[in-house]
Structure 1
């Protein structure tokens, strides 16, 4: 009995963290416990059968190995699930884990560890764990006691029955669809089951199917422009790139010298910041590609890449990082002419941006066909490789293991130094890419866009990394648009607030191409109009209201904590003073109703909470 209690305590602790720290649905509990019990049944069967042929210390040693292997597999699965939730807002998939497993030395090196150290430490821990299990079984093993109390027939039949039950469970796992209930093992093995369920931003199946149906109509009815400018498009998306850490946009440190030279040379048509739709890659990249807020993102959206292809462009995706196994991102963009990411090679660490430079070196000279390049950089990401010759801004430390604070009072400074070194490297990689593309003729007539998929926390309010916040540092990213050669993006208006979903429409307007009717963003060449932009990360949902003159009001609700926040970003851009209690009640109710209308990407319990708040009568 004691051994069962110890074993079951592992999934119980995980489920508590899974539900209360990451907002998983309660529907995940029952199927997960069922799976764990099946695993324990299989383990019991193996031990029962081994006791028939092995005796004494040999049996105990083999049994300890079996128990340890199952325990380690469970523990590792839980750790990977929590790591995925922490850094990507998703349970780590088997494919994603296997990709990184092939590059463990490079991965550890990027985190600042010599591979030999964790290997020795792991071997020591496993040895101690095995010895502990062996000693435990010498005193508390229930199998010898069962053997004494049962007949040989029953003792042989029992493991056969347990194996049959476990085998049926494994064979039928994919058909049960437990991933849609949020069961973590199913989401890791069958990530497609999480596309409308247990992700940071779930969409109900009927809602999702309506979006997909409308998207197909737009796709079939889209007509390419006969008068398009056909400038080449170089879209550079940088993972976890904060707008306020670019010296080009006013940051105190010189992090973007190459970009500033391009501005001095007259190439910079637009240098501003926009609000990302979320604080993680999957929805941020979808928002960029398909100009949609979270609650209206399609399974197969009409993307910028697809529209350019319909207008005669050759499309090339060249990514650092793993988009192949990262929750279907490779397929989001639609059919392209060439695709490459870090998972497509084994020569370098998967998150090393020198992969992009090497890939561009292999390109042929431009042949005059309008071309799109979509690059994804990882240099500013906490898991991105920092080059040895990238200068440092001072003592630094990776903050990869942090989420909500550190006992080291210097950690914010160390993290900022580490991050800023990554931004400086981004600037270098962008400069190298453009230099090579210029040499190969692609900048004779080209628009170059640099932006981010989401922001990053660097100790502000005790927070680090991403996937957990909607503060300004988490959702405000740069939007830079440069023109080279004959390209002319037009004149840009001054907008008090812009969204990540405006990036794709701005590019199409610069090219003179029709904008798909389901896109929600607006071209920044258009005159500024009073508007509201939206953002969300898990249970935190909010808006920025630019409809009133001389104010820029940001309002958001943390539905898990039941807290509301409001800031005037014009007078308080760092969100230091919460003015929610001073907001007019009628205004607050209007904001709640607006958010309720955008709440389809909330888990059901949070959506009901928001709808309840929105329907609460306002006092006059």
Structure 2
């Protein structure tokens, strides 16, 4: 009896050690998930339930493996492989969660991870890593994990101890029971709606369960539903103009395209020779810059499509594309990059005639802009029906494919891995060289697109827009890439309009305060089409004496105020720290002197109230903090 009690004691002690080792990784992850990345504490309980489901499945499989008619060594090898695969899969998943939160401010979805996994070699090359070396490293890590698990099981496997104390038939029933419990629990996961609590696996598998997520921004489901109802009301009331013009519309968006790095705007390097040639040929009707609504693709592309600031961006807005469809246009979207799996970007445009992005194929790296020109080759001559094309280019993005024959401006380096700074004093120059090479390539791809469209007749009567979805940091203030600031390099993109053939582009009245949301209304005004009532933007054919436009990036929320004569104030608040920043862009375009203390208190209070009114895309906690601060300011 004493011997059996000792045997059971050893079995349960080994089981306890195994469980402790297994939950160590999820516990460490939850600490980082909540305390570093600010996930809600409500995520703890459902995620531990998910982990318990995985533990149940693993235990059931381990018990079932012990029933196999194999030598003990073979069973240990199989079990250690199972444990190694499970552990590494958890590490990979947790790592992808942190990568997504750091770079995109959202949990990486399985669809997004799958798209990049299929093209991992090209992604690694774009980041400057050797696929062969990465494969060798992964193989080494797997071998180490397997060997560690094997040694652990040889010294103290709880399954072996259980087999010494329980009959095989009872163990078989236990294995089936554990597997059944874990299966039922897993099947119920889609219906639990744990994404709203922040549970990471649910957010990865079912991203729609959360708030209306837009990378760094989120609108609570109730406010989002009201926005959608408002958009539906505008959609129902909209009436096309039967006498509208039907010039073709070509929209070319280059990802992360800064205005100040185009030689068209005076940049010291020859990065846009083809755009300059178009200007010299008299095609260019407008060449200026615009302020984006944010510093990332999700809200930037929504603003281009639906003329809304971040706080009013709907799931199903009435878009430029939808308006053109109502006026009899064919609409074709041809995108480099993965818009299908990245934050649901492919669904924001409404019904279109054809859609293609990098995730639609497996022939080339999904961020290779040759996908765009290859796809365009499939279109025949223009049939005379009004047509809209929208292209998205990735050459200017850090993850975009650089062609071998694109000239370099000097030694360059992909800066994705150092987005929060680098101690290397030469990194800003290498990052700039790498980025400028991408700009030069964008200019070349734009030339190729326009040449192909012209050869097919689409430019006989056409408006062409060239812009970016957001800016990019290249070492300024120690920052790289995007999604983390609202400095001018992060928000300022080109706003270039070309006209071909009989397209009428008269009446433009450029304003010093131009927003990304003005692009769609300007295009519709060219075509004599009604502008949807809910749109926030203003057509540039309208005379505007003074104006305020808004921007936001995560907790940084601000405005550009052009109402003061001789001043162009840019003001923003870091809501988490309550720090305020104000710059006069006319006298200080590089934002070197914070002049908040020089601005009248009444104007500062007005700005804060305006920003409070635009705070719907902040998290509820941060929005409440801004409202309290605004109330205190008004009281003073």
Q: What range describes the TM-score normalised by the shorter chain of this pair? A: over 0.9
Q: How does 1:41-60 map to 2 (within 5 A)?
A: 41-53=56-68, 56-60=72-76
Q: CA deviation at 1:220?
A: 1.7
Counterpart among 412, 416, 420 of residue 400 in structure 1: 416
**Is 1:24–1:198's contact at 8 Å kept on the other side of the alignment?**
no
Counterpart among 380, 387, 392 of residue 403 in structure 2: 387
**Is 2:213–2:343's contact at 8 Å kept on the other side of the alignment?**
no
Counterpart among 53, 60, 67 of residue 83 in structure 2: 67
| CA displacement 1:497-528 (0-9 Å, x = unmatched) | 11111110011111111000010000112112
| CA displacement 1:211-245 (0-9 Å, x = unmatched) | 11111121122111122221111100111111111
| CA displacement 1:271-320 (0-9 Å, x = unmatched) | 11111111111111111100011111111110101101111111111111
| CA displacement 1:250-287 (0-9 Å, x = unmatched) | 22211111001111111111111111111111111111
2:29 is equivalent to residue 29 of structure 1: no
**Is 2:215–2:343's contact at 8 Å kept on the other side of the alignment?**
no
Q: CA deviation at 1:386?
A: 0.4
Identify if the C-alpha distance between structure 1 residues 462 and 229 changes in structure 2 by more than 3 Å, giving closer, same or farther. same
Q: Which deviates more, 446-455 or 545-554? A: 545-554
Which residue number in structure 1 is paired with residue 450 of structure 2? Answer: 434
Which residue number in structure 2 is paired with residue 564 of structure 1? Answer: 580
Q: How does 1:567-578 map to 2 (within 5 A)?
A: 567-578=583-594
Which residue number in structure 2 is paired with residue 283 of structure 1? Answer: 299
Q: CA deviation at 1:561?
A: 3.7
Following the alignment from structure 2 to structure 1, what is the Cα–Cα distance between the partners of residues 371 and 478? Answer: 34
Following the alignment from structure 1 to structure 2, what is the Cα–Cα distance between the partners of residues 8 and 456? Answer: 40
| CA displacement 1:562-618 (0-9 Å, x = unmatched) | 433222222222222223344433322222211111111111111111111111144
Q: CA deviation at 1:82?
A: 2.5
Following the alignment from structure 1 to structure 2, what is the Cα–Cα distance between the partners of residues 562 and 159? Answer: 56
Local SS of the residue matching 1:202: strand
**Is 2:224–2:315's contact at 8 Å kept on the other side of the alignment?**
yes
| CA displacement 1:69-94 (0-9 Å, x = unmatched) | 11111111122223333333332222
2:101 is equivalent to residue 85 of structure 1: yes
2:490 is equivalent to residue 488 of structure 1: no
Following the alignment from structure 2 to structure 1, what is the Cα–Cα distance between the partners of residues 214 and 309? Answer: 18
Counterpart among 191, 215, 218 of residue 207 in structure 2: 191
* Structure showing greater Rg: 2
Which residue number in structure 2 is paired with residue 136 of structure 1? Answer: 152
Counterpart among 362, 375, 378 of residue 346 in structure 1: 362
Which residue number in structure 2 is paired with residue 446 of structure 1? Answer: 462
TM-score w.r.t. the length of structure 1 is: 0.95
2:433 is equivalent to residue 417 of structure 1: yes
2:272 is equivalent to residue 262 of structure 1: no
Counterpart among 359, 367, 371 of residue 375 in structure 2: 359
Aligned residues: 620
Q: How does 1:62-211 map to 2 (within 5 A)?
A: 62-147=78-163, 155-194=171-210, 196=212, 199-211=215-227
Which residue number in structure 1 is paired with residue 475 of structure 2? Answer: 459
Counterpart among 304, 311, 315 of residue 299 in structure 1: 315
| CA displacement 1:518-562 (0-9 Å, x = unmatched) | 100001121123222111122222212222121122222223344
Following the alignment from structure 1 to structure 2, what is the Cα–Cα distance between the partners of residues 614 and 473? Answer: 28
Identify if the C-alpha distance between structure 1 residues 483 and 199 changes in structure 2 by more than 3 Å, giving closer, same or farther. closer
Local SS of the residue matching 1:316: strand
**Is 2:65–2:75's contact at 8 Å kept on the other side of the alignment?**
yes
Following the alignment from structure 1 to structure 2, what is the Cα–Cα distance between the partners of residues 458 and 2? Answer: 48
2:262 is equivalent to residue 246 of structure 1: yes
**Is 1:87–1:465's contact at 8 Å kept on the other side of the alignment?**
no
Local SS of the residue matching 2:484: coil
Counterpart among 530, 544, 547 of residue 514 in structure 1: 530
Which residue number in structure 1 is paired with residue 392 of structure 2? Answer: 376
Identify if the C-alpha distance between structure 1 residues 133 and 361 changes in structure 2 by more than 3 Å, giving closer, same or farther. same
Q: CA deviation at 1:321?
A: 1.0
Following the alignment from structure 2 to structure 1, what is the Cα–Cα distance between the partners of residues 38 and 549? Answer: 25
- Unpaired stretches in structure 1, ≥5 consecutive residues: none
Q: CA deviation at 1:114?
A: 3.6
Q: CA deviation at 1:170?
A: 0.8
Following the alignment from structure 1 to structure 2, what is the Cα–Cα distance between the partners of residues 280 and 23? Answer: 20
Q: CA deviation at 1:52?
A: 4.2
Identify if the C-alpha distance between structure 1 residues 467 and 26 changes in structure 2 by more than 3 Å, giving closer, same or farther. farther
Following the alignment from structure 2 to structure 1, what is the Cα–Cα distance between the partners of residues 395 and 332? Answer: 20
Which residue number in structure 1 is paired with residue 10 of structure 2? Answer: none
Q: CA deviation at 1:423?
A: 0.5
Following the alignment from structure 2 to structure 1, what is the Cα–Cα distance between the partners of residues 37 and 504? Answer: 46
**Is 1:247–1:254's contact at 8 Å kept on the other side of the alignment?**
yes
| CA displacement 1:440-462 (0-9 Å, x = unmatched) | 11111111100111111212222
Following the alignment from structure 1 to structure 2, what is the Cα–Cα distance between the partners of residues 183 and 582? Answer: 46
**Is 1:94–1:189's contact at 8 Å kept on the other side of the alignment?**
yes
Local SS of the residue matching 2:558: strand
**Is 1:319–1:376's contact at 8 Å kept on the other side of the alignment?**
yes
**Is 1:501–1:521's contact at 8 Å kept on the other side of the alignment?**
yes
* Aligned CA-pair RMSD: 2.1
Following the alignment from structure 1 to structure 2, what is the Cα–Cα distance between the partners of residues 3 and 273? Answer: 60
Which residue number in structure 2 is paired with residue 503 of structure 1? Answer: 519
Local SS of the residue matching 1:366: coil
Following the alignment from structure 2 to structure 1, what is the Cα–Cα distance between the partners of residues 134 and 491? Answer: 34
**Is 1:181–1:197's contact at 8 Å kept on the other side of the alignment?**
no
Which residue number in structure 1 is paired with residue 28 of structure 2? Answer: 13
Following the alignment from structure 2 to structure 1, what is the Cα–Cα distance between the partners of residues 605 and 154? Answer: 65
Following the alignment from structure 2 to structure 1, what is the Cα–Cα distance between the partners of residues 482 and 137? Answer: 29
Local SS of the residue matching 1:442: coil
Local SS of the residue matching 2:218: coil
Q: CA deviation at 1:58?
A: 2.8
**Is 1:290–1:504's contact at 8 Å kept on the other side of the alignment?**
yes
TM-score w.r.t. the length of structure 2 is: 0.93
**Is 1:489–1:511's contact at 8 Å kept on the other side of the alignment?**
no
Q: CA deviation at 1:108?
A: 2.4
Which residue number in structure 2 is paired with residue 528 of structure 1? Answer: 544
Following the alignment from structure 1 to structure 2, what is the Cα–Cα distance between the partners of residues 487 and 72? Answer: 58
